[in-house]
Structure 1
């Protein structure tokens, strides 16, 4: 990314409280057009809450969020989708009885309400082909394997024509061959110009795909920078990576 690249998303002092729990604490973060940002941190750090807050699922308790220069702090989920904010979910829950094709077509219709069912299905076919599910198009989503449901989730997110795509643990529960396939898809999406924010626990994937890493711990941003710098940051090693990881990485092991 060049220094002059414009920001697609800006968070200023964003907080989120759930009754007594402070899930996000004054997070300030800018995301540049075209970058792949890895969002990492321990379980419960606030990563999914941050994505939910940006996408309108759980509105911010404080601070401001802007997307392409427009204030979206109080946006609704359908409005976020129509602006070009799209996301996958950590827990994959497709419409079980719908075919794979109609799951993806439904996502297209949700984000582009003027679209016809015919054109939504045509687009859905293209997205299924991209994620390698064209032969499963007519199968009910309930019959797909976990890896296939994860790819279906990605196809649904792409059907929403994202400018900014949030991927929430797309590799969780996958074997190494499935992770490699998912990683190739993410590389292709990034090469196509979609800005991506990845919540991911597999550091191998983060270091392979991400141009930058932001680290959350207890709802606070504790590091933000180039992957090679962030993984050596003592606060990140203490809060998340652990000394063994740091030592292995330092020795190339």
Structure 2
């Protein structure tokens, strides 16, 4: 795993309101190049909203987002993609009638204007091979299993040549063997130097992969630090992990 380097992402007092509801409240967070940061918290804590705010889907109501030294607070989604911000979605929605290959090629064309269809398809084959879908390249996305569609989603995100990759619950709905395979892919991406922020409910995966954990609760950042410290933090135990998890963890330790 590459050693963390300079700061690549910085959020300063970022808030996001929806019709009076504060989905995010004064979130300040930094991510360094080469880190794998776990973003955890209860359902409705604001995790996906935070990613949407960074990527320009729902711009911040207040505060500043900086990526690679550039203010991207009011950026459009296509602009963020071209700067090197890429993501997977919790609910995977590939172009159902497109082949797996053309789903990935479309992502490459979206994020890199001027790319030819031929070179986009060549790159798509490489990304499909990386996620283990080379044999399914010419199948329509509609015919793929959920686990395969999750891997297709990852291949699409990689086709956008990310400097920073957001993974939104890539393991949701997968069985233990599929989770293990996905975890290996994440380790490989980190080893290749891609900075990763992952929303994940499986603490086993978070502790296996992440170098740091940030915790959201009711739209606020309540903890940010090394995994071993976060899982013992009383505020995190109360808000998310629960006493049973803390007791099991203490027994193991």
In the superposition, the TM-score normalised over structure 1's length comes to: 0.98
Task: Kindly indicate whether the alpha-carbon contact (under 8 Å) linking 2:2 and 2:192 is maintained by their aligned counterparts in 1.
Answer: no
Partner of 1:103 in structure 2? 103
Partner of 2:32 in structure 1? 32
Partner of 1:61 in structure 2? 61
Other structure's SS at 1:184 match: helix
Other structure's SS at 1:251 match: helix
Mapped partners of 1:84, 1:149: distance in 2? 22
Mapped partners of 2:3, 2:161: distance in 1? 26
Mapped partners of 2:2, 2:107: distance in 1? 33
Superposition deviation, residue 126 in structure 1: 0.2
Indicate whether 1:230 and 2:236 are aligned: no
Mapped partners of 1:2, 1:106: distance in 2? 30
Mapped partners of 2:212, 2:161: distance in 1? 23
Superposition deviation, residue 2 in structure 1: 10
Partner of 2:129 in structure 1? 129
Other structure's SS at 2:252 match: coil
Partner of 1:92 in structure 2? 92
Partner of 2:219 in structure 1? 219
Mapped partners of 2:69, 2:161: distance in 1? 19
Partner of 2:176 in structure 1? 176
Cα 1:2–1:163 change in 2 (3 A) is closer
Other structure's SS at 1:90 match: coil
Task: Kindly indicate whether the alpha-carbon contact (under 8 Å) linking 2:4 and 2:33 is maintained by their aligned counterparts in 1.
Answer: no
Other structure's SS at 1:49 match: helix
Query: Which residues in structure 2 correspond to 1:1-253 (within 5 Å)?
Result: 5-252=5-252
Q: Deviations over 1:121-147 (max 9, x none)?
A: 000000000000000000000000000
Task: Kindly indicate whether the alpha-carbon contact (under 8 Å) linking 2:9 and 2:32 is maintained by their aligned counterparts in 1.
Answer: yes
Superposition deviation, residue 20 in structure 1: 1.9
Mapped partners of 2:3, 2:13: distance in 1? 23
Q: Deviations over 1:216-252 (max 9, x none)?
A: 0000000000000000000000000000000000111
Mapped partners of 2:134, 2:71: distance in 1? 38
Q: Deviations over 1:149-176 (max 9, x none)?
A: 0000000000000000000000000000
Mapped partners of 2:202, 2:193: distance in 1? 23
Give me the CA root mean square deviation: 1.3
Mapped partners of 1:32, 1:41: distance in 2? 21
Mapped partners of 2:2, 2:173: distance in 1? 35
In the superposition, the TM-score normalised over structure 2's length comes to: 0.98
Mapped partners of 2:67, 2:93: distance in 1? 27
Superposition deviation, residue 3 in structure 1: 9.6
Paired residues in the alignment total 253
Superposition deviation, residue 5 in structure 1: 2.7
Mapped partners of 2:145, 2:252: distance in 1? 35
